[in-house]
Amino acid sequence: MEVGLLYSRIRPDEKLLLTALREHGHEVHKVDVREVTFGLDAPPEPLGDCDVVLDRCLATSRSRYASRFVDHYDLPVVNSPETAKLCSDKVETTLALSAAGVPTPETTVAFTTEAALDAIEAFGYPCVLKPVVGSWGRLMAKLDSRSAAEAVLEHKATLGHYEHSVFYVQQFVEKPGRDLRVLTLDGEPVAAMSRSSDHWLTNAAAGAETTAFDLDPEAEQLAREASQAVGGGLLGVDLMELDGPDGDAYTVHEVNHTVEFKALDAAVDVDVAAAVVDWLETKVASMDDGSDPTPAEVQP
């Protein structure tokens, strides 16, 4: 199998993937998207003979457009540009999850600071203001008072970029000091971990403590449904546990399409990168023989 790897920086996650691919005997064509161009007629030369292309671009814009071009060349790409589009934008993700009936925190979107302040006041304090594009918990604000809300909204208005004029306001979920990350391959959970912190943000990139987590049937099913809602592929589904005694036990707050998994790999007994490569082999084999593998055929 010849695999193209689109990247803009080789992180520990990509090193794990490259090692697993080579240990499985596959040829890898690394393509730094900062150094190539994408035309309308043919892919960059290193991609031409690839059986599948992995999008591991760090920047959202590069990920979305590079995967779109690869798809335009009729080359299989993981993840698909449609999935990249949905997952890279929190508004798109929320709408997709809601349309699929997947529980997700209550969310309101506004387009002016005045309307955003009205939405925040309607939620009550605390609530959360998030950028529509971003990762690692950057530029997220927990608003505990009207004065804090006014200050953050003023900062966003001053920044001026059009994305800062889309105000994504979400309920603050009283989670038990942690959230959950589930890595899924076409919906099938491969491994999961909890991310714990004294801070309200529990991202592993921000220093949260990570521990292997055994999923119960409800969490497994939600991970499958969230994956399906955004088109499947190699995804990181983030869930929060709910403290209330009634209703759903979890809510899905994010789905990541260029998922980092080095912290997960270190926390669990599963070789995550090897599981991804096994899954890629199954996908390529199914394309070669014209079959359509079901999630049950993917074995971590």
CA angle 34, 89, 77 (to 5 degrees): 50
Tell me if 69 sits within 8 A of 31, measured CB to CB: no
**Model confidence band, residue 246 (pLDDT cutoffs 50, 70, 90):** low
Report the residue count for the chain: 300
* CA distances to 99, 250, 263, 275 from 176, in Å: 27, 12, 20, 30
For residue 18, which amino acid is it? L
pTM of the model: 0.90
Read off the pLDDT of residues 111-128 as tens digits, 9 standing for 90 and up. Answer: 999 999 999 999 999 999
pLDDT value for 206: 62
Residues 260-299 as b or e (16 or more Cβ within 10 Å = b):
bbbbbbebbebbbbbbbbbbbbbbbeeeeeeeeeebeebe
Read off the pLDDT of residues 65-80 as tens digits, 9 standing for 90 and up. Answer: 999 999 999 999 999 9
Tell me if 71 sits within 8 A of 45, measured CB to CB: no
Query: Does the domain at residues 178-271 carry the CATH identifier 3.30.470.20?
Result: yes
Residue 259, pLDDT above cutoff 90: yes
CA proximity to 132, closest of 92, 160, 99 = 92
Tell me if 249 sits within 8 A of 242, measured CB to CB: yes
Residue 279, pLDDT above cutoff 50: yes
Residue 297, pLDDT above cutoff 50: no
Local structure of residue 115 (DSSP, 8 states): H
pLDDT value for 295: 44
| Residue 2, helix vs strand vs coil | strand
Superfamily of domain 106-171: ATP-grasp fold, A domain (3.30.1490.20)
Q: H/E/C letters for each residue in 175-205?
A: CCCEEEEEEEECCEEEEEEEEECCCCCCCHH
- CATH code, 2-87: 3.40.50.20
Question: 10 Å Cβ neighbour count for 27?
Answer: 13
CA angle 148, 109, 121 (to 5 degrees): 40
**Tokens representing 209?**
């403590």
> Do the domains spanning 2-87 and 178-271 agree at the CATH topology level?
no
Domain boundaries in the chain? Answer: 2-87, 106-171, 178-271
Calculate the CA 205 to chain-centre distance: 14
For residue 236, which amino acid is it? G
Residue 160, pLDDT above cutoff 80: no
pLDDT value for 46: 86
Tell me if 128 sits within 8 A of 140, measured CB to CB: yes
Map tokens 């497994």 to a residue: 220
